[in-house]
Structure 1
Amino acid sequence: MIKVFISVSALLFIPLTAHAERGGEEVYNAKCFVCHAQGVANAPKFGDAAAWKPRIDKGMDALLATAKSGINAMPPMGTCMDCSDNEMKAAIQFMLDSAK
């Protein structure tokens, strides 16, 4: 009985320690598309090279900082409060790649 309890207890902690990072497309489709697909509140549209050009010129570090702190109508972290920096970077890169 004790072994079963220990095994079940150990399984309860797995989600806290084993979080696989999501890729850029996955994060975009789950979080970012809400605004970036249609350009809500002047968000640069997915695939719009002209809209993304000045942002590309700023570089990834500046884009990540802006995404994390928010800008204009975009709240801090956009709609991805549970995103890691790597996930945010992947989503940003996915949107940048669409604009090439």
Structure 2
Amino acid sequence: MRSLRDTSLALLALLAADPTAAAEGEQIYVKACAMCHNAMPPKLGDKKAWEPRLQQGKEALVATVIKGKGAMPPKAGNPALSEKDIEAAVDYMLNQVK
């Protein structure tokens, strides 16, 4: 199992390699995720709340967004989001807890 540090470093490397993807991720976050994740847990940037999710890995988080979980509907309530869009938003959110 990857350590939290290893997972964080891998995610940061991906974002650093493609700054355009990071910008797209932020835009998708603002449009599809911010309304909830700025008010409800796990809040954007809350390292403690995101720690267990980081341990699941990016693939598991993307799958959770696609399927939905708890109060979060599938694809964050936007069926037009592609898997690439969701990955970009997840990358952006994870980058906020580096």
- For 1:76 and 1:61, the matched residues in 2 are separated by 15
Give, in angstroms, the shift of residue 80 of structure 1.
2.5
Q: Which of structure 1's runs of 4+ aligned residues deviate more than 4 A? A: none
The SS at the match of 1:64 is: helix
Q: Percent identity?
A: 39
Higher Rg of the two aligned structures: 1
Q: Which amino acid aligns with 1:79?
A: G
2:31 alignment counterpart: 30
TM-score in terms of structure 2 length:
0.73
**Contact 1:47/1:99, CA 8 A, preserved across alignment:** yes
Unaligned residue ranges in structure 2 (runs of 5+): 1-20
1:70 equivalent among 44, 68, 74: 68
Give, in angstroms, the shift of residue 79 of structure 1.
2.5
Query: Looking at both structures, which has the greater relative contact order when contacts are Cα pairs under 8 Å and sequence separation is at least 6?
Result: 2
TM-score in terms of structure 1 length:
0.72
Count residues in correspondence: 77
1:82 alignment counterpart: 80
